[in-house]
Amino acid sequence: MIRRTAFRALTTVAVTAALALPLAQGAQAAAPDTTAPATAATAATINANDDNPFRWMELDGLRADFQFMCPAGHCAGLWSLVLTDNVAQQRFEGRKFFVYAPATGEFSFFLDTDIAVRTVDHPSQVRLVDTDFMRSHPRVEVRYGDPDHPDRARVVASATTLM
């Protein structure tokens, strides 16, 4: 009788452990692992800082931004300059944003999604990616106004190449 009771108790413990083990493993797998290496996006952001092509520029009203874009399903990391939150939150109505090099009177472009455009309507669309243009001009400005009359437009941000 004692043997049978001990066997039943042992069987009950074994069955309980067999049923509880997968549940415990599932809960452990669902819990975030804080010791795991950084995700690809986090690692890319960390490593992206090393490749920032704008790190040698003095930025006023702009900040460097790294993001992944996937035009036509091919993802690539991209550095760009965007307006700072302080500038982007200002009120802008009725005009256009454009990129202008005051020393030469030349224009550059913004990247709107994956299309290069000369002007944009909203502060959130200001995204400068033309690093060749910025390196070949000592000062590049984001202006707001009429691109046909850049001298009358308001300078909202600038990037100056440090020599």
In this structure, are 144 and 76 located in the same domain?
A: yes
Is residue 98 a contact partner of residue 147, using CB atoms and an 8 Å limit?
yes
In this structure, are 13 and 53 located in the same domain?
A: no
- Give the percent of the chain with pLDDT over 90: 48
pLDDT of residue 163: 65
Among residues 71, 68, 153, the alpha carbon closest in space to that of 119 is found at 153
| Interatomic CA distance for residues 38 and 30, integer angstroms | 17
pLDDT of residue 38: 39
Mean pLDDT of the chain: 76
In this structure, are 63 and 135 located in the same domain?
A: yes
Average pLDDT over residues 8-19: 42
Angle at 134 between CA 152 and CA 86, to 5 degrees: 60
Residue 16 lies in domain: 1-36
- Rg of the chain on CA atoms, in Å: 28
CA distances for 68 relative to 7, 34, 82, angstroms? 61, 24, 15
Q: How far apart are the first and last CA of the chain?
A: 93
pLDDT of residue 117: 94
pLDDT tens figures, 41-100: 433 443 445 688 888 899 999 999 998 877 777 888 889 999 999 999 999 988 999 999
pLDDT of residue 112: 82
In this structure, are 145 and 117 located in the same domain?
A: yes
User: For the chain, how many structural domains are there in total?
Assistant: 2
pLDDT of residue 76: 83
In this structure, are 32 and 44 located in the same domain?
A: no
| 3-state SS class at 55 | coil
Q: Which residue has the tokens 């599932």?
A: 26
Q: What is the pTM of this model?
A: 0.67
In this structure, are 127 and 53 located in the same domain?
A: yes
pLDDT of residue 109: 94
In this structure, are 26 and 51 located in the same domain?
A: no
Q: 61: how many CB neighbours lie within 10 A of its CB?
A: 19
In this structure, are 89 and 156 located in the same domain?
A: yes
pLDDT tens figures, 20-32: 434 343 434 444 4
